[in-house]
Amino acid sequence: MNLYQQHMLAETRRHFFAKGAMGLGTAALTGLNAENANAMATGEVPEFLRQYAPKARRAVWLFMAGAPCQQDTFDYKPKMDEWYDKDLPESVRNGQRLTTMTSKQKRFPIAPSKFKFTRHGESGGWVSELLPFTARMMDDLCVIRSVHTEAINHDPAITYICTGHQLPGRPSLGSWLSYGLGAENRELPSFMVMTPSWSGRQTAQALYNRLWGAGFLPSRYSGVGLRREGDPVLYLSNPDGVSDTARRRMLDRLAIMNQQTLDSVGDPETQARIAQYEMAFRMQTSMPELMSIDGEPKSVLELYGPEVTQPGTFAASCLLARRMLERDVRFVQLFHRGWDQHGDVAKSLPAQCKDIDQPSWALVQDLKSRGLLDDTLVIWGGEFGRTVYCQGKLSRDNYGRDHHPRCFSMWMAGAGIKPGMVYGATDEFSYNIIEKPVHIHDLNATILQQLGINHERLTYRFQGRDFRLTDVHGKVVNDILS
Amino acid sequence: MNAYSAALTLIISVVAAAPVAAQQVSFQRQVRSILSDKCFRCHGPDAAERQAGLRLDLEDDAKKVLKSGVRAIVPGKSADSQLVARIVTTDADLKMPPQDSGQSLSAAEVDILRRWVAQGAQWGTHWAFTEVERPDVPGMTDTAAEVTEIDHFVRSRLLENRLTPGVDANRIALIRRVTLDLNGLPPTIAEVKSFVADTSPTAYETVVQRLLSSPRFGEHMARYWLDAARYGDTHGLHLDNYREMWAYRDWVVNAFNQNKPFDVFTIEQLAGDLLENPTDEQIVATGFNRCHVTTSEGGSIAEEVHVRNVVDRVVTTGTVFMGLTLDCTRCHDHKFDPLTMKDFYSLYAYFNSIDGAPLDGNKKDPAPVLKVLTGQQKQQVADLETKRATLQQELKQYLASIEYVEPETPQAPIRSEPKEFVWVEDSVPSGAKSQGNTPWNFVQAPAPVFSGQSSSERTATGLSQHLFDNAPEPLTIGADDVFFCYVHLDAKNPPKEIMLQWNDGSWNHRAYWGGDHIDWGKANSVSRRRMADLPKLGEWVRLEVPVADVGFKPGAKVKGWAFTQFDGTVHWDKAGVVSKTDQQPLYDSFAAWQKDQLAAKRKSLPKNVLAVLTKSADKRTEDEAKTLTNYFLEFGYVASHKTVAPLQDDIKKSADRLNEIRKSAPTTLVFREKKEPKPAHMLTRGEYEQKGQQVSRAVPAVLPELPQGAPSNRLGLARWLTADNHPLTSRVTVNRIWQQFFGTGLVKTAEDFGSQGEAPTHPLLLDWLCAEFMMPQLDGAQHDWDVKHLVRLIVMSAAYRQSANLTSADYEKDPENRYLSRGPRFRMDAEQLRDHALHVGGLLSERMGGPSVKPPQPDGLWFAVGYSGSNTVRFKKDEGSDKVHRRTLYTFIKRTAPPPQMSTFDAPSREACVVRRERTNSPLQALLLMNDPQYVECARGLAERSFSESGPTPTERAAWMLQQAVLREPSATEVQGLVADYEANLADYQADPESAKRLLKVGETKARGDVVPEEFAAWTMVGNLILNLDEVINK
């Protein structure tokens, strides 16, 4: 074993075992050799983390930031029509805390959905008219109508679902995956993030780099943002006036000189650095290849809809997501903003739905036709739900909805998730869950499990505690697994 | 020697004599961590989780007879000890730890526990909770002069591990390391040469002294502290708007530069506001407890946010000063350390009573704040106050000197001529809000100035304006008043049109000169009145506009004025109105004045004067009479007017200017205590709405008591933390500073000194350093808690001065260099990397302090995530070398989207307290160092410097450039390689000269124009290579 291998091994040990990850360290350590260390770096699920055979090799989360109205999309509540403009019974609210945006409202009048719902597919799941393409694939999806959280404001809620904690500082889901599983593709980052444009409410909630950040994990596990403008990855292009030849020449000289440093100083980090510069160079080729959709057949482009050729749209991002997944990027997350319909649901929500409906459908179909859906997990949803009662002015045609943590709808598809299923149920007001609640920790535990990771074992020692994505909570939702 | 160091000595001797005493188990080093890791979760401090009534973190509890009648530990008798029985049993139902806990013990761990019980189960307090006692320095055979006390400790540990100390680093490597470590910048070649040439035995010490005295020292030390203090330039949550508190950052820099004793440093930050007659600086320091992220998200519940803010203060204080993981005790008793949930809320009570709202209002200065004047502003204020006092004195003396005689036949009062009332001179009217396309830019001579100190300069392409609005004291317009304003139109770059506009609630009052390019309002009306052609160029001209021409009627109140131009350069100066309105007539007779005043009951008279006036003369006291006379002499007397008026005018100007300075002064967030403390309660599961019993301020029972007479507030808490007997503050601090230099602390888990943290590799050294830090006995210390003294001790040690080269054998025995068998070598931090490149490229601006700056970063990083309505949603880079080339310490940190130059290299986002940065090695770092325009500009700067500083041949130039970065003499092979690359690059650029020009345009500064672009570009590429060398980016 040379110094570099020793170093990699030592580093792997440091991260996984020396800190005594849930007592498994010693057992795993005895079996560990350089090959294992390398295997780990190339993306196999390490034995000790794996309690289940992984169903998913990769995952994509279409994140609807701002919180979609479940009543107007998936959680059909026909009885609410009779309740129009009547007050939400106190027995339903049951002392629930409200945001200060509506807690001072004198009334909580019910706003029934103005949109039509129909059943779809063999499974017969209800979907509103806002999502005609999604409706077509109900037999591919598992819609969960009983997701819940505790946070009632965007910043804490989105931080919570993405990092398992309401305050900044913790690693994100994707960075946990990168840390636990390493990269499958050595030429692309293992966790990539896109922030596509949106059409609904323009004063949109913020995103935060922490949502894909590494928290207290080393920064190399952070999600890499694929940008809408400029270089797709920061500083990817050579400076203006520097050719590929010049860059190659510089890297060749750099390798020679760094090798001299390695020979005289003997620090294995130097060897790692030589490798990183080569990887950077490969990324300079692989990223533009990834970004270029010139080779995509017309039939595929048509699948995603007309906006697919406009860079930065949700459609274009979905196509790129497929291209990443195809190249074994481990985790892709799209953050589509503008879902915070405190008012003007009538105009704003259809615009949002139109942005994402066809592209989400297309992504699932495209993955399926390539045989990738079997081992790719697709997740759709936001950080919480919205209230059945109206915020602001109520009419039959228009209304607004405030934040609601007690229930919301998401869907999952692919990679061992039961297709054509509707899971969980809320009361007739879509206010409280009456059946099969799924906490966001449960959701994250399930996602990790599908990727082959026992969420209780993927830990990192920080400030004296073995932290994990699901804190001390999380139960895998076995009912939705095939 | 206390029990703790006795135990340690024992371990050391054990290890040293390994074969003989290998059987002896150490509680501190071997047993405690197993118990903590594998048992405390159910048998530890947390009463709620405790099983079978067994507690293994306390000796008495662990050895007592349990309810069930058995004893977990019977010292010396492992056969009778349930603890042993339960870990060796094969019965799955009895086996500990239980299978469903996910925990298990290795065979080695079982063996340790069994032997420990058999050997008598000796106990000890957790090392970090024992008082620091100064250990004896181990005896050493090596008495070489450069071997310091630190080395005696280090070498005894090396010996125990059969390692040998490394050789000394060569002088060049050493001065590079120590300069980077003390100032965050590399030495210059001259500094290197002078050190290499200095043969005196104190040569190195001289360098260290120089570096410790440099203001760069404070800047460098501050950035570590700012990670811990979680300092940032935005609120960090939701809107993530701008927050102004750079004064706190500057305070930290100054504190390190002044070598403020660390106990004072601590006290001022935690409780500066509670000190007796605190100075502004001491109050600025309390910003430490305001650095946490805040929100004003719509819908937020104030109490919930309040609790989060307080919790952050408690947790940060715990981590930074005590290395305690207090966050664990927010919801339950600590699982591993003897800290209870009550301890948490008792500490919480200290930080609970801030005199300000929990929500930040999305503004830069949520209360409590302090206005901070810069040094220059302080001087201005002092000067103006002196001036005002002098003028007032002069006025007083003059009034006293008047010998007033009532005339026999009074003249009719004199109504004065229209008077020029100046509204704008060197500043906008006091309290008005100044705005514009770009800020007001007051310039002084040699730029054209008509009167006062300065004029307002504006250069425009197309339409541009500056204006003010919302003046608290509006101009009241009289019938025949005339606005006036002085302008100077640049002869070389004249505007096409100039326009004045006034606001009385509407801006539809405009007058213009020259072409009709600005189409606001309606032509030929009061909303767009053409006055004349452009006035004469290149000289001062007075513009006049009768108020009626722009639609003002008497009594109108004008609150705003805009100065607008289309193209060109214009200097704008004194502006105001010529008015007869509301000016007091002047009298030669006191009696006549009184009569008229009384008849008019003038409201403009001060109340006290009016009160005297309305009394009949015989009822006025002597003082009252004097008040009235004086008022008359000052404001109504014709004979004094000529002398008094200019004095009054000057006094008013001084007052206005003072007001202006104070109002525009930057603010900084500080801590101020509410008058009545807010009661603190236990919060069940940490939930804000689940209040439990009320708790009072107290410190954790496991730690020493509060010092005698310490007040029950943050000041008392700070004194407690910095008391000599506090076991944690000095250890945690010393360890963190050690970590700066060696990459890893003596305690690797710098953030956790509890039982889940790692034990120190050199416990005796740590304690010796703590003792020497708190109460120095060696020469060279200025005072107790002397940071510079501690730093000096570290960098003077032979351990620090070793060569960083390592062999395979070293690596096997000491892969992480925890025993210090070689010198420290690791990649520079984000700030160092950038500062280093700027320095080598000759671009670094050494300007200190002030508002944070925004060097360029790729477009769209803020916009991609920012809240649409946030005032930091759009990034706009700063202009000018004194902003974009400042040290990275001064770079603006938007916490939800931190600068990539920082985050790519593991700098924290400053959203939460971080006392130890990870250090990674990634392809994204390579891309940044190769392609970031700032680094490219540095490479170009290095090439550019070579054109004036190196010899002319390619060989000389290549060698010179490389040496600037590596400092050592480059080898012939290296130089040949660089020259070959240069020539190949040159050939390429000669084939494509345009690309050379494009490369030279990268960056914020202009490349010099007198070098052949193809050569310049080819050398720039060589510079780019040099700045990416492993040797260069490592310290």
Per-residue pLDDT tens digits for B470-499: 887 788 887 778 999 999 999 999 999 999
* Contact residues, A window 69-88, toward B, CB-based 8 Å cutoff: none
State the Cα angle at A262 between A256 and A264, rounded to 5°: 105
- The answer to whether A238 contacts B911, with C-beta atoms less than 8 Å apart, is no
Sort strands A331-336 and A58-64 into parallel, antiparallel or unpaired.
parallel
**What is the predicted pLDDT for the residue at B141?**
62
B-facing residues of A in 220-249 (CB < 8 A) are 220, 222, 224-225, 227-231, 233-243, 245-247, 249
pLDDT in tens, A86-97: 999 988 888 788
Choice between B1015 and B11, residue whose per-residue pLDDT is larger: B1015
Q: What share of chain B is helix, strand, coil (3-state, %, to 5)?
A: 45, 10, 45
Question: Quick one: which of A303, A253, A290 has its CA closest to A274?
Answer: A253
pTM of the entire structure?
Answer: 0.78
A346: contact with B, CB 8 A cutoff:
no
Using a CB-CB distance cutoff of 8 angstroms, which residues of chain A are in contact with residue B37?
20
Residue A8 reports pLDDT greater than 60: no
Summarize pLDDT for B368-383 with one digit per residue, the tens. Answer: 999 998 888 889 999 9
The beta strands (E) that lie in B348-474 are given as 369-371, 419-424, 433-436, 442-444, 454-469
Q: Which two tokens stand for residue B115?
A: 């032997």
> How does DSSP classify residue B396?
H
Q: Which residue has the higher pLDDT, B503 or A2?
A: B503
Is residue B868's pLDDT more than 90? no
Of the CA atoms within 13 Å of residue B793, those in its CB half-sphere come to 25
Judging contacts by C-beta atoms under 8 Å, the chain B residues touching residue A311 are none
* Nearest residue in chain A measured CA to CA from B687: A150
Predicted ipTM? 0.79
Architecture of domain A58-228+311-480: 3-Layer(aba) Sandwich (3.40)
d(CA B914, CA B748): 14
Quick one: which of B487, B529, B481 has its CA closest to B508?
B529
| CB distance B188 to B194 below 8 Å | no
CA–CA dist A253, B1022 (Å, integer)? 10
pLDDT of residue A51: 60
pLDDT over 70, % of chain B: 96
Which of A3, A220, A258 is facing B808, going by the closest CB pair?
A3
Residue B56's nearest CA partner among B40, B75, B68 is: B40
In this predicted structure, what is the pLDDT of residue A314?
A: 96
Which of B301, B815, B932 lies at the smallest CB-CB distance from A10? B815
The residue among B930, B990, B1031 with the most chain A CBs within 10 A of its CB, best to mutate, is B930
pLDDT per residue as tens digits for the range A83-129:
999 999 988 888 788 888 888 888 899 999 999 999 999 988 999 99
Chain B, window 800-829: residues with a beta carbon less than 8 angstroms from a chain A beta carbon: 804-808, 811-812, 815-816, 825-827
In chain A, which segments carry CATH 3.40.720?
A: 58-228+311-480
Contacts of A253 in chain B (CB under 8 A): 977-978, 981, 1025
Burial class (CB in 10 A: 0-12, 13-18, 19+), B825: buried
Q: Is there a contact between A146 and A438 (Cβ–Cβ < 8 Å)?
A: yes
In chain B, the residue whose alpha carbon lies closest to the alpha carbon of A259 is B1030
CB B842 within 8 A of CB B965: no
Average pLDDT over residues A383-390: 95
What is the interface size between A and B, counted as CB pairs within 8 Å? Answer: 287
Tokens of A380: 């759709």
What are the structure tokens assigned to B915, written together? 């006392």
Query: Environment class of residue B201 by beta-carbon count within 10 Å: exposed (0-12), middle (13-18) or buried (19+)?
Result: exposed
- Whole-number Å distance between alpha carbons of B30 and B112: 7
- Is residue B530 over pLDDT 60? yes
| B137-146, B292-301, B444-453, B470-479: least confident range | B137-146
Q: Which CATH number fits domain B419-579: 3.40.50.720, 2.60.120.430, 3.40.50.1820, 2.60.290.11?
A: 2.60.120.430
Q: Which position has the token pair 């290095």?
A: B942
CA of A22: which chain B residue's CA is closest? B103
Q: Are the beta carbons of B595 and B410 closer than 8 angstroms?
A: no
CA distance linking residue B2 with residue B135, whole number of Å: 10
| Structure tokens given for B617 | 């003369």
Q: What is the mean pLDDT of chain B?
A: 90
User: Quick check: A206 contacting B, CB < 8 Å?
Assistant: yes
Delimit the domains of chain B by residue range: 3-125, 149-217+739-813, 230-372+672-725, 377-415+585-661, 419-579, 828-904+921-1035
Is the CB of B900 inside 8 Å of chain A's CB atoms? yes
Residue B811 pLDDT > 80, yes or no?
Answer: no
> pLDDT of B550-568, one tens digit each?
999 877 889 999 999 999 9
